[in-house]
Structure 1
Amino acid sequence: MDDAAVLKRRGYIMGINLGEGSYAKVKSAYSERLKFNVAVKIIDRKKAPTDFLEKFLPREIEILAMLNHRSIVKTYEIFETSDGKVYIVMELGVQGDLLEFIKTRGALHEDDARKKFHQLSSAIKYCHDLDVVHRDLKCENLLLDKDFNIKLSDFGFSKRCLRDDSGRIILSKTFCGSAAYAAPEVLQGIPYQPKVYDIWSLGVILYIMVCGSMPYDDSNIKKMLRIQKEHRVNFPRSKHLTGECKDLIYRMLQPDVNRRLHIDEILSHCWVQPKVRGLSSAAIHKEGESSRGAEPSRTPETPDKKSATKLEPREEAGPETQSEPKPNEEETLQVPVSRQSDNMDLNGELPGRVIEEEALPQP
């Protein structure tokens, strides 16, 4: 039977194609039982690679079945047919994903970014408390419901953390994700702490939310790594970000894994907590951050729409000098503002998304 017939027998009326890769596709469908539209991920075992079938797919199915959080895409049903097709019926992000939202509307006001980032961080805390790591956090995997609330999706690279006899989480050696959102330790092929990896990706996402552009240019991985390891983060002056917001991003994009924030520290940060404002400049200076005080948020500029798939790169800014800045320069907590990583298909066939059990070349 074709997909439409299979879904019809299960009570779903198949709709439009939402995406397609070499061995997986996503369709919209109307659920006669639920009385609303859903998304159906269809995986063809006959076309999928062995490592995906033996490792990633079983992990994804196990984890999806156990998750239940308001900011995580709901999984309604998982079933398989005799001809080797797996159907995962999920909540539909009716407003699309966060990347498309930002490309269309521009960077978010800090208040809107705070709300969405708090929803995402709450979802990650829920996962991390269950010892589940996502390992592919990016704007394309953040769907928006009818009220533009965040719904975390795509647990294809997720896993449950293993612990040693002393209770410490065992380092991961499977290097996966998208280069533009990947932490420097992952790009270098160093065994990594998976929860700490997720935090770096959160930092990239928040930067994109409030700046409307990428924090690092992944077109040159060697150069990007050097900038990341120097802990340089450039913020566009035109966005007039508050000191609290920049401080949080700076602490998440910390190359030293022992100093990078944990999820509880993110949720308790003064920028995330709407009632606790006014981070002291002394606290910021302690991390070597910006010396500028909090500034009011302005209406964001809409990014260039030339590219349908990428956030447009901007000219790289060098380290901040002592001279008085000119309008529209970038202020440095120190990194080049750039483009998004190459688009990935459903299965991550393009280079840079997943490298199984081997390190990327050392810079």
Structure 2
Amino acid sequence: MDDAAVLKRRGYIMGINLGEGSYAKVKSAYSERLKFNVAVKIIDRKKAPTDFLEKFLPREIEILAMLNHRSIVKTYEIFETSDGKVYIIMELGVQGDLLEFIKTRGALHEDDARKKFHQLSSAVKYCHDLDVVHRDLKCENLLLDKDFNIKLSDFGFSKRCVRDDGGHITLSKTFCGSAAYAAPEVLQGIPYQPKVYDIWSLGVILYIMVCGSMPYDDSNIKKMLRIQKEHRVNFPRSKHLTGECKDLIYRMLQPDVSRRLHIDEILSHCWVQQSKAKAQQPSTSSKEWESSRGGKDTLKVPELRPEKKSATKVEIKEEPRSEALPEKEEPVQVMRQSQTLGFNSDEPAAETKQGDPSPAPETVHT
């Protein structure tokens, strides 16, 4: 029985193709029961690799079944046919993903960014409180509903944290995600705290929201890693960001894992808590904040370039990353964000760096 017939028997009228890989595809469908369109992820067990079937797929199904949060893509139904096909019926991001939104419309105003980032942070807190980590947080995995609210999606690399006899979460050893969103400890192949890794990715996402560009150019991983470890964050001067916003990003992009913010600290940060009325009033100036962080060196930052893509972003991971890790201090080889986005480095930025004295300005080439 073909996919359309299987779905029809379940009350779904199959629509267009949204994405396709070697062993999985995503279709749109109309649910006769729900009376609206959904996304259907179809996985063929006969074509999927063993490690995916034994580890990643069971994790994803288990976690999707337990999640219920307004800012996480809803999973309506999961079923499997006798011929080895798994069907996951999910909420459809009708307005596409956040990356396409920013590419098309540019950086978000801080008020809009605050609302969307609060939705995302609330979803991450919900997961972390359940000891679930996402490990692939990025703008492409943030879908937008009809009202442009954030819906966290793609739990293909998620897992439930394991705790030792003392109740402490054990370290992870699997690299997950894209290099542009990956924390320095992950890029170095160091066993990492998975919840702390998610926080770094949140920092990258917020930077992209308010700056409309990537905080780090991953076309040169070693150079990017060096800049990250020096705690350098470069902000485009033209965006006129408030000090509170910069401070939050700076504290999330903290290379020292013992000092990186916890999800509760993010949600209680003054910028996240700030009301719209207060946000419109003058706050800590950029000059004051930059002065406290070491000056305003002129740098260039990688920009996002608009690309023509489908209205709904769907990413299918062909192969899970291996558990094998490189030697310490050697960055892993991963797909570069710059390869898919493209960069334009023509806008000067203000640099912040932990400690004094500030280094000489350096150009981030793309």
Superposed pair shares fold, TM > 0.5:
yes
What count of residue pairs does the alignment treat as equivalent? 318
The residue identity in structure 1 corresponding to 2:234 is N
- 1:11 aligned partner: 11
Instruction: Give unpaired runs (5+ residues) of structure 2.
Output: 332-366
Distance 2:101 2:284 in 1: 33
The residue identity in structure 2 corresponding to 1:337 is P
- 1:301 aligned partner: none
Give aligned-pair identity as a percent.
85
Instruction: Look up the SS of the partner of 2:273 in the other structure.
Output: coil
Distance 1:94 1:336 in 2: 31
Deviation at residue 22 of structure 1 after TM alignment: 1.3
Match of 1:348 among 317, 321, 328: 317
- 1:118 aligned partner: 118
Distance 1:214 1:145 in 2: 24
Deviation at residue 360 of structure 1 after TM alignment: 4.2
Contact 2:203 2:249 in 1 (8 A): yes
Distance 2:76 2:55 in 1: 22
- 1:131 aligned partner: 131
Deviation at residue 345 of structure 1 after TM alignment: 7.9
- 1:315 aligned partner: none
- 1:299 aligned partner: none
Contact 2:212 2:303 in 1 (8 A): no
Distance 2:245 2:315 in 1: 32
Instruction: Give unpaired runs (5+ residues) of structure 1.
Output: 294-318, 322-328
The residue identity in structure 1 corresponding to 2:105 is R
Contact 1:135 1:194 in 2 (8 A): yes
State TM-score, norm by structure 1: 0.83
- 1:164 aligned partner: 164
Deviation at residue 355 of structure 1 after TM alignment: 2.6
- 1:184 aligned partner: 184
The residue identity in structure 2 corresponding to 1:86 is V
Instruction: Look up the SS of the partner of 1:271 in the other structure.
Output: helix
Distance 1:88 1:107 in 2: 33
Deviation at residue 23 of structure 1 after TM alignment: 1.1
State TM-score, norm by structure 2: 0.82
1:204-223 map, 5 Å = 204-223=204-223
Contact 1:217 1:339 in 2 (8 A): no
Contact 1:173 1:191 in 2 (8 A): yes
Distance 2:43 2:321 in 1: 20
1:93-115 Cα distance to aligned partner (Å, 9 max, x none): 10000011011111100000000
- 1:305 aligned partner: none
Distance 1:37 1:292 in 2: 50
The residue identity in structure 2 corresponding to 1:249 is I
Distance 1:236 1:196, change over 3 A: same
Contact 2:196 2:262 in 1 (8 A): yes
The residue identity in structure 2 corresponding to 1:43 is I
1:1-363 map, 5 Å = 1-275=1-275, 290-291=290-291, 320-321=296-297, 336-338=301-303, 346-349=315-318, 354-360=320-326, 362-363=330-331
Contact 1:189 1:358 in 2 (8 A): no
1:197-225 Cα distance to aligned partner (Å, 9 max, x none): 00000000000000111111111111110
The residue identity in structure 2 corresponding to 1:225 is L
Q: Over aligned residue pairs, what C-alpha RMSD do you find?
A: 2.4
Instruction: Look up the SS of the partner of 2:103 in the other structure.
Output: helix
Contact 1:21 1:345 in 2 (8 A): no
Distance 1:228 1:256 in 2: 10
1:69-93 Cα distance to aligned partner (Å, 9 max, x none): 0000000000001111100000111
Deviation at residue 292 of structure 1 after TM alignment: 7.5
The residue identity in structure 2 corresponding to 1:143 is L
